[in-house]
């Protein structure tokens, strides 16, 4: 047993829909029942006493499960309808109860005047909760089958307005999971030719209600299904947003994991580069094996296209190392050329090293035309004269330093004390 409470403006439209070719009038109260026109006129007369009421029409379709079809006699259906009205507080007013025979499941329609016989308005406050409670009470009382929901209703056997209502229901259900806001829902329903009207609060312009229209028949969202009221739709929008964020986070983490795994595979499959020994680089120029060998053996090389450290210009020059092979000097002229410097005639390279502060084993011309090799150096670069030694002063200094480090421990005899 399923019942739906609908409010409307026109008795004419409602009565003409209910009194169709398959209709069977079970009971009429307070109205002329000879024809649909007489019924409409009767409702209209009482309705005229409260013209300010915009929705005087009460319409309640009640359908029963196909499993209960065998027990649905006219008497039982009439009894169920009247008890339902009593549970819903619909009394002391005009009504008609009509059974339809156009579907497999037994169903009926109650049309009543919300303006009662005393011209008081019959309230429909909390009709949703009262409806659920009334249906459950009657199903339990008469042992009726509990319905299996809208998804099991046979659409092809429905007539309007139920046919339209279920079309809208199915459309909303099919697209709602992909909608995150009212605009999404409006756009998604366009392919079903369903229009949406949102009702806004006057002060805040916030949406407070929604209705759906198809084929010139409109339903409030809650009339289609309670879960399609705007409040419940908004909950679905919010849930979809959160699920989208969650899917986004999961997708991001999955992509990260895939990238990491891909990187690990690449690391394993990549051919690792062979470590290559690089030769000495002098002012931006990598020396050849032969040049490096000559330098290490104390010889002279000529290097082209070096980069000057002061102005980044390129230059070429002779290069040679000091005795310790830890510094390289340069000369535009051949460093082997002999020049007079101080008391000796020596190589240009010796003069350069002396002036740079290095101790060098020079090659100087001796008296008989031969060459001698004294050690020459300056204590300070500003000294006008250099010092000389026929022994390597660095070796002498190292030996003296070693002597200074030696510690002589004196032997101290123990005092045996005085004999008594």
Of the three residues 172, 206, 240, the one that is the final residue of a domain is 240
Q: Do residues 352 and 393 both lie within one domain?
A: yes
Q: Are 100 and 62 in contact (CB under 8 A)?
A: no
Other C-beta atoms lying within 10 Å of the C-beta of residue 96: 25
Q: Do residues 389 and 324 both lie within one domain?
A: yes
Distance CA 61, CA 197 (A): 24
- State how far the alpha carbon of 18 is from the alpha carbons of 32, 203, 289, 411, in Å: 15, 40, 108, 134
Distance CA 295, CA 354 (A): 18
Residue 216 forms part of a structural domain? yes
Q: What are 166-225's pLDDT values in tens digits?
A: 899 999 999 999 898 888 899 999 999 999 998 888 888 888 899 999 988 999 988 888
Q: What are 147-171's pLDDT values in tens digits?
A: 556 666 777 777 788 888 889 999 9
Number of domains present in the structure of the chain: 3
Phi, psi (deg, nearest 5) at residue 101: -120, 30
CATH of the domain at 57: 3.30.930
Q: Do residues 361 and 298 both lie within one domain?
A: yes
Q: Are 176 and 233 in contact (CB under 8 A)?
A: yes
Residue 267 forms part of a structural domain? no
Residues of the chain under the 50 pLDDT cut: 271-276, 409, 412, 416-420
Q: Do residues 60 and 174 both lie within one domain?
A: no
Distance CA 67, CA 44 (A): 38
Cis preceding linkage at 419, omega within 30: no
Residue-level pLDDT at 404: 64
Residue 219 forms part of a structural domain? yes
Q: Do residues 139 and 175 both lie within one domain?
A: no
DSSP H/E element including 169 = helix 162-175
Residue 189 forms part of a structural domain? yes
Q: For residue 311, is it left (φ>0), alpha (ψ between -120 and 50) or beta? A: alpha
Q: Do residues 195 and 132 both lie within one domain?
A: no
Q: Do residues 24 and 111 both lie within one domain?
A: yes
Residue-level pLDDT at 226: 81
Residue 268 forms part of a structural domain? no
- Give the burial class of 109: count Cβ atoms within 10 A of its Cβ; 0-12 exposed, 13-18 middle, 19 or more buried: buried
Residue-level pLDDT at 267: 64
Q: Do residues 134 and 196 both lie within one domain?
A: no
Q: Do residues 6 and 134 both lie within one domain?
A: yes
- Give the burial class of 252: count Cβ atoms within 10 A of its Cβ; 0-12 exposed, 13-18 middle, 19 or more buried: exposed
Q: Do residues 211 and 289 both lie within one domain?
A: no
Residue 361 forms part of a structural domain? yes
Query: Which pTM does this prediction carry?
Result: 0.40
Of the three residues 100, 122, 148, the one that is the final residue of a domain is 148
Ordered DSSP codes for 88-150? TT--SS-EEEEEE-SSSS-EEEEEEESB-TTSPBPP-TTHHHHHHHHHHHHHHHHTPPPP--G
Residue-level pLDDT at 419: 43
Q: Do residues 113 and 201 both lie within one domain?
A: no
Q: For residue 400, is it left (φ>0), alpha (ψ between -120 and 50) or beta? A: alpha
Any alpha helices (H) in 176-322, and if so which ranges?
Answer: 182-189, 221-224, 230-269, 289-296
Q: Do residues 140 and 21 both lie within one domain?
A: yes
Residue 13 forms part of a structural domain? yes
**Domain interval for residue 227:** 157-240
Residue-level pLDDT at 152: 65
Residue-level pLDDT at 271: 43
């Amino acid at each position: 047993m399923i019942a739906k409470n609908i409010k409307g403006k026109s008795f004419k439209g409602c009565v003409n829909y209910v009194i169709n070719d398959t209709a069977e009038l079970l009971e009429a109260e307070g109205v002329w029942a000879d024809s649909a026109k007489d019924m409409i006129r009767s409702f209209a007369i009482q309705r005229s006493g409260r013209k300010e009421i915009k929705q005087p029409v009460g319409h309640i379709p009640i359908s029963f499960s196909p499993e209960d079809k065998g027990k649905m006699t006219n008497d039982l259906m009439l009894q169920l309808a009247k008890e339902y009205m009593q549970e819903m507080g619909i009394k002391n007013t005009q009504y008609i109860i009509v059974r339809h025979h156009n579907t497999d499941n037994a169903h009926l329609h109650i049309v009543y005047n919300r303006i009662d016989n005393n011209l008081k308005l019959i309230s429909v406050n909390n009709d949703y909760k009262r409806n659920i409670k009334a249906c459950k009470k009657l199903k339990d009382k008469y042992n009726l089958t509990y319905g299996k929901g809208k998804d099991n209703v046979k659409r092809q056997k429905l007539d309007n307005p139920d046919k339209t209502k279920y079309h809208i229901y199915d459309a909303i259900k099919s697209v709602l999971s992909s909608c995150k806001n009212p605009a999404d829902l409006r756009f998604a329903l366009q392919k079903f030719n369903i229009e949406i009207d949102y009702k806004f609060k006057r002060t805040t312009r916030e949406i407070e209600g929604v209705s759906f229209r198809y084929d010139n028949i409109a339903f409030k969202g809650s009339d289609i299904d309670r879960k399609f009221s705007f409040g419940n739709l908004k909950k679905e929008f919010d849930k979809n947003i959160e699920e989208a964020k969650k899917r986004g986070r999961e997708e991001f983490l999955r992509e990260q994991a895939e990238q990491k795994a891909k990187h690990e595979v690449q690391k394993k499959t990549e051919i690792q580069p062979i470590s290559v020994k690089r030769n000495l680089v002098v002012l931006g120029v990598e020396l050849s094996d032969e040049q490096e060998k000559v330098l290490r053996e104390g010889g002279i090389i000529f290097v082209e296209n070096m980069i000057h450290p002061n102005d980044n210009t390129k230059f070429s020059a002779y290069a040679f190392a000091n005795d310790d092979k830890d510094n390289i000097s340069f000369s535009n002229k051949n460093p082997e050329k002999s020049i007079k410097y101080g008391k000796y005639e020596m190589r240009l390279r010796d003069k350069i090293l002396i002036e740079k502060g290095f101790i060098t084993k020079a090659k100087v011309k001796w008296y008989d035309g031969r060459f001698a090799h004294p050690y020459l150096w300056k204590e300070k670069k500003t000294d006008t004269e250099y010092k000389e030694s026929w022994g390597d002063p660095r070796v002498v200094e190292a030996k003296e330093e070693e002597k200074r480090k030696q510690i002589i421990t004196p032997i101290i005899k123990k005092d045996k004390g005085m004999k008594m």
